[in-house]
Amino acid sequence: MTQVAFDRLLVANRGEIAVRVMRACEELGVDTVAVYSDADRNAGHVRYADEAYNVGPARAADSYLDQEAVLDAARRADADAVHPGYGFLAENASFAALVEDSGVTWVGPPSGAMERLGEKTRARQVMDEADVPIVPGTTEPVTDAEEVRTFGEEYGYPVAIKAEGGGGGRGLKVVRSADEVDDRLESARREGEAYFSNDSVYVEKFLESPKHVEVQVLADEHGTVRHLGERDCSLQRRHQKLVEEAPSVVLTEETREAIGEAARRGVDAADYTNAGTVEFLVVGEGEDQQFYFMEVNTRIQVEHTATEMVTGVDIVKWQLRVAAGQEITFSQDDVEPDGHAVEYRINAENPAREFSPTPGPLETYDPPGGIGVRVDDGVRQGDEIGGDYDSMIAKLIVHAGDRHECIERSRRALREFDVEGVHTTIPFHRLMLTHDAFVESDHHTKYLDEELDPALIDEAVERHGPNDGDGDGDDGDGEDDVVRREFTVEVNGKRFEVDLEERGATVPAGAVGDAATDTDTSASSGSDTDTGTASTDSTSTPTSAGDDADGVTGERVHSDMQGTVLSVEVGVGDTVETGDTLLVLEAMKMENDIEATRGGTVGEVAVTDGESVDMGDLLVVVE
């Protein structure tokens, strides 16, 4: 295969996907350019690149999302191509057009195709015209609540309200009765405006307990369209994928052939080129199995690695070749899946706390190896996993001859994956590999949110999580604190690994929670209208004698997670009661109502709409 006609490529992204693209470039003889924010000066993708340019402060809107700053870096580096990775500007049609107009090659679909498929109603129209099955729903945006209620009466509840520019669960609200329409419609519009600068929404029938199956496609400018088989991405929490595998073991052979051909027809009708993914929902079994188009991801996806492992096709290299004008050289018949592959997202999150992010240093980072094991990462031991961006540390991809062998190999690889300093999703993955619903592939997209017993996750984190803790203890009085230590001892010439728990021991500073000068009070739980809850950290300052009987004068509400303020519901001087909503905070794709745990007067509002907050940041003071 000939090399691509690029000399220097800028990767408009960070983390493991930036390194993944740079590795492909190195093998093709292309120099690489990184962009980085102030928070990423020493990041792995910066170390790997041939050149690197600062594009702004830590806040993504002022750096990685600053289109002019990224394009200016490409000009300064004399780059002749830009690869957007995934996330950030990867599906931004206006940025793609900006790159195209600059004369620099855009490694992705044309901006026109991105625009057609990026808005969900237009994508549904394209697919419907290409005879791709779509979920019953509107092909034009809805403008008021009455339209949603009319649709619900015709097709039955539940229905889904979706933001036109949405993805990954953002801007998606499930409506289970007519009474919920107004609130859910407002919430979907608010998220659409906050994340995609587009408050247009549409409505479709909500499918209960479907499988999420997606088809990887490649298309070139010479009219060649190929699909690389499908992936099953049904293990999700709050619409965020955690595990992806290829191929899907639930599809009948008839459905597998039909869904692949439907994906090819759809992208061909959209004049699409480069790599992309057509996502479907699958319901039923056997002869009754049906699939429905959901959306097109006009970029490389996190889980492209699973497809690479079973097909042997380097998708990123083909992205570069197609962008350089080369023709796809393999036929559809050449694509024959070999064995089974599963990708596990290794995130810095605590599964026992609803997968809340746990930024911190990688005190130990020792990934697994061996036959059939691939690790995509951009970190090394000692690096800091910050709270400014996504919490991904690495991706573990395991390949074997069949799904059973792949699960056994995965168990071994996850046991070998040693990470200390932060909580990770490794305990959750180890749980799933012993859990019947996953092992038998009986799970669906709502399984984690609605059916899995949370106590099982708690037990997995306790058993397989880091030993230094991060707030999993009690109130810190020392009586019930547990310190776990590992020792290696030798008895009669044989080594033993000993795991010792000391109850009531003195816990090192920072091992159980963050140190605080304030006196803790009870925390309230803000209920997400769709999928879960989040809590506030409420603290109060001591007062002199003569104040309230409980010895406090107010409540300082802090964020217990990194997120984005969707809306502030109170102002200074407002009177609030216990349970009143102070603000709405989006974190980990979940919208949380942050509530007051006591009545009083709002003395300070420390945040504004659209502002990003870190764990521990002050939100509101109630006096």
- Classified by CATH at the fold level, domain 8-107 comes out as Rossmann fold (3.40.50)
> Cα–Cα distance between 520 and 528 in angstroms, integer?
24
**Residue 490, pLDDT score:** 60
**Residue 504, pLDDT score:** 52
Q: Is 496 exposed, middle or buried (0-12, 13-18, 19+ CB in 10 A)?
A: exposed
What's the pLDDT band for 532 if we cut at 50, 70, 90? very low
**Residue 5, pLDDT score:** 82
Q: What is the CATH number of domain 519-622?
A: 2.40.50.100
pLDDT score of 290 more than 60: yes
Q: In DSSP terms, which residues pair with 292 in a beta bridge? A: 281
- Classified by CATH at the fold level, domain 339-470 comes out as D-amino Acid Aminotransferase; Chain A, domain 1 (3.30.470)
> Cα–Cα distance between 387 and 382 in angstroms, integer?
16
- Given a contact cutoff of 8 angstroms between Cβ atoms, the answer to whether 558 and 618 are in contact is yes
CA-based nearest residue to 589, from 240, 160, 288: 240
**Residue 591, pLDDT score:** 61
* DSSP 8-state assignment for residue 134: B
What's the pLDDT band for 621 if we cut at 50, 70, 90? very high
Domain ranges (residues) in the chain: 8-107, 136-205, 210-337, 339-470, 474-509, 519-622
Angle at 431 between CA 428 and CA 437, to 5 degrees: 110
**Residue 487, pLDDT score:** 64
Strands annotated E in 247-323 = 274-283, 290-297
pLDDT in tens, 27-81: 999 999 999 999 999 999 999 999 999 999 998 989 999 999 999 999 999 999 9
pLDDT, mean of residues 319-328: 97
- Given a contact cutoff of 8 angstroms between Cβ atoms, the answer to whether 233 and 212 are in contact is yes
Q: 3-class DSSP state for residue 461? A: helix
pLDDT in tens, 73-130: 999 999 999 999 999 999 999 999 999 999 999 999 999 999 999 887 889 899 999 9
One fold for 210-337 and 339-470: yes
Instruction: Tell whether pTM > 0.95.
Output: no
| Domain range 136-205, CATH architecture | 2-Layer Sandwich (3.30)
Report which residue type is found at 467: N
- Given a contact cutoff of 8 angstroms between Cβ atoms, the answer to whether 74 and 10 are in contact is yes
| Domain range 210-337, CATH architecture | 2-Layer Sandwich (3.30)
- Given a contact cutoff of 8 angstroms between Cβ atoms, the answer to whether 162 and 201 are in contact is yes
Least confident of 40-44, 67-71, 453-457, 507-511: 507-511
pLDDT in tens, 399-439: 999 999 999 999 999 999 999 999 999 999 999 999 999 99
pLDDT, mean of residues 242-266: 97
